[in-house]
Amino acid sequence: MELKNDRYLRALLKQPTDVTPVWMMRQAGRYLPEYRATRGVAGDFMSLCKNAELACEVTLQPLRRYELDAAILFSDILTIPDAMGLGLYFETGEGPKFERPVCSESAVDALPIPDPEDELGYVMNAVRTIRRELKGSVPLIGFSGSPWTLATYMVEGGSSKAFTKIKKLAFAQPKVLHKLLDKLADAVVLYLNAQIKAGAQSVMIFDTWGGVLSPRDYKLFSLQYMEKIVNGLIREHDGRKVPVTLFTKNGGMWLESIAATGCDAVGLDWTIDIADAKARVGDKVALQGNMDPSMLYAPAARIEEEVAHILAGFGEGSGHVFNLGHGIHLDVPPENAGVFVDAVHRLSKAYHKR
């Protein structure tokens, strides 16, 4: 099936587009009343993820409201550790937790690599369902957490502020952590390739916690494993290239190293100026980002001003996918997200000369 709107894929491959494409991280989520209603039907978050029809419904909800240029699979970054048998659960107001954190080499050795079509088959069912229901309107993005980010949750047992357990493992028993990260990289390659075969037309790796590492340790414990994944991915499927985006939150100081992995695009958070980022790596990769999600609390005129500033920073030509610098906040007024999306399309026309 031909894509009616492929500007997101074209921008990732630095091909010409008529306007700058835009989507939002966490665009299917709690800021939308229709999402909250569907989650109420599902009962809880993981039940929503594991029901292909409901996961498809919430994936499509933001596309009904906004002229977004991509859909992103509704799922969670912790599906792989969950499928490894660690007992994922969610406590209200406290985020994800694991009943059985990884705390020894024997625990690492015992971890299975999940079969994407078996233990993670519900994700592939969701991908197939969403692709069918999109009817070629926009591309579908698949995703995974990075090995380092997955490992932080697995070793800490949930969210963390100081990351003492994972860093203790990194510095006191580095061989054990490398064994875990290597196993996770293998699992992510299988998982993302299965998403591509099921219908994902682009994939993204979220390295949420790479920015808590020193420059040396980032390359050692995070980046080398993302590069291993990039090298193991299917890069062409159904006659189309499958672009890969890497996003490290607080990773602005390492853009050149990220761009050198062989990925097609680098995601930017809001702590770096996009003009600087483009000057550093823009001839090598596309850039995704990078408005502060909190800007969506601002009046419409201020949102438009910020969009204009970021567009001007990137300048003319393709290779820019507009996004927030991280996920949309749950209490943002939905109409403000609409102002954002409309402003990107309207104001970016001047930067794409045909």
**What are the residue numbers of the active site?**
26, 30, 39, 76, 153
What spatial distance separates the first Cα and last Cα of the chain, rounded to whole Å? 26
In the sheet that holds 244-248, the strands lie side by side as 71-72, 140-145, 202-207, 244-248, 265-267, 286-288, 320-321
* CA separation for the pair 216, 253 (Å, rounded): 12
* CA separation for the pair 123, 51 (Å, rounded): 9
Strands 265-267 and 244-248: parallel
* CA separation for the pair 272, 250 (Å, rounded): 9
> Can the peptide bond before residue 290 be classed as cis, meaning omega within 30 degrees of 0?
yes
The answer to the question of whether 354 is labelled as a binding residue is no
Beta strands per DSSP E along 92-188: 95-98, 140-145
Please say whether the beta carbons of 344 and 307 come within 8 A: yes
> What distance lies between CA 205 and its chain's CA centroid?
5
CB under 8 Å to 331, separation ≥6 — which residues?
31
* CA separation for the pair 121, 197 (Å, rounded): 12
The answer to the question of whether 30 is labelled as a binding residue is yes
Please say whether the beta carbons of 281 and 259 come within 8 A: yes
Strands 95-98 and 140-145: unpaired
The answer to the question of whether 208 is labelled as a binding residue is yes
Angle subtended by helix axes 147-156 and 164-172, to nearest 10: 110
Structure token digits, residue 111: 């971890």
The answer to the question of whether 308 is labelled as a binding residue is no
The answer to the question of whether 27 is labelled as a binding residue is yes
In the annotated binding site, the residues are: 26-30, 76, 153, 208, 326
In the annotated binding site for substrate, the residues are: 26-30, 76, 153, 208, 326
